[in-house]
């Protein structure tokens, strides 16, 4: 590892929330109010306005799923680099790889990435990723990485979708706090690889994992 490559520590500190509109909305407000610490993870038991891609609602029962958002300040990775739109593609790919690696450790090899940023088990959606970025002019300053995984929920009210949870796949009840720790580890590893390998290499690595 190059001495200039920082060690990624997403997940610390961990801020636990019982109920929130959405973890992404809460995290973004913390960034705007200059209260956010890079690497922080905001985890909620329940979201009243859970956000998915393209404005979709994320359906989740209270206390049964893994719902969290990480904040990452780009200058903490390299203060001399001007981060821009091209770098966002690399981070998005790195996060998807980390999320897939995490879930497949429990659900098995039938876990896939479905573009743009969904995690599927066979033909059913197990999780989703929503990355929202903060810009200063054209410079990318913060990334808010929202991730939701169906864990212990067994009934869903989403028309036209086929969700699946880790409990349905494995028949086991899962500890959300343990899974949160393991997700952070997987993301740290995949983002570290992105920083070392670069955007194109990370995107190419993701292609065999697409659905």
Domain total for the chain? Answer: 1
Quick: pLDDT tens for 71-111.
999 998 888 888 987 899 899 999 999 999 999 999 999 99
- The proportion of the chain whose per-residue pLDDT surpasses 70, expressed as a percent, equals 91
Q: What is the pLDDT of residue 103?
A: 98
Kindly report whether the peptide bond that precedes residue 209 is cis, defined as omega within 30 degrees of 0.
no
Residue 4 included in any domain: no
Residue 179 included in any domain: yes
Q: What is the pLDDT of residue 6?
A: 66
| Torsion of the alpha carbons at 54, 57, 59 and 64, rounded to the nearest 10 | 80
Residue 186 included in any domain: yes
Query: Residue 82's domain spans which residues?
Result: 14-209
What is the average pLDDT value for the chain, to the nearest integer?
89
Distance separating alpha carbons of residues 68 and 85, to the nearest angstrom: 24
Decide: 158 and 50 in contact? Cβ < 8 Å.
no
Residue 3 included in any domain: no
Quick: pLDDT tens for 136-177.
888 899 999 999 999 999 988 776 668 999 999 999 999 999
CATH of the domain at 112: 3.30.930.10
Q: What is the pLDDT of residue 162?
A: 87
| pLDDT value at 4 more than 70 | no
Q: What is the pLDDT of residue 3?
A: 44
CA 156 from chain centre, in angstroms, equals: 21
């Amino acid at each position: 590892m190059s001495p200039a490559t920082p060690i990624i520590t997403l997940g610390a500190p961990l801020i636990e929330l019982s109920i929130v509109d959405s973890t992404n909305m809460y995290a973004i407000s913390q960034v705007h109010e200059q209260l956010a610490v890079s690497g922080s993870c905001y985890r909620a038991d329940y979201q009243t306005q859970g956000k998915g891609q393209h404005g979709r609602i994320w359906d989740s029962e209270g206390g049964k799923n893994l719902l969290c958002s990480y904040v990452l300040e780009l200058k903490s990775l390299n203060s001399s680099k001007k981060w821009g739109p091209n770098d966002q593609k690399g981070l998005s790919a790195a996060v998807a790889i980390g999320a897939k690696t995490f879930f497949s450790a429990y659900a098995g090899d039938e876990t896939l990435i479905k573009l743009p940023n969904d995690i599927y088990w066979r033909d059913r959606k197990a999780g989703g990723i929503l990355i929202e970025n903060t810009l200063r002019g054209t410079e990318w300053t913060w990334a808010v990485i929202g991730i939701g995984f169906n864990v212990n929920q067994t009934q869903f009210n989403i028309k036209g979708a086929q969700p699946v949870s880790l409990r349905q796949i494995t028949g086991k009840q899962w500890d959300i706090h343990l899974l949160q720790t393991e997700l952070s580890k997987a993301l740290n590893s995949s983002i570290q690889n992105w920083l070392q390998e670069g955007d194109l290499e990370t995107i190419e690595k993701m292609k065999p994992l697409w659905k």
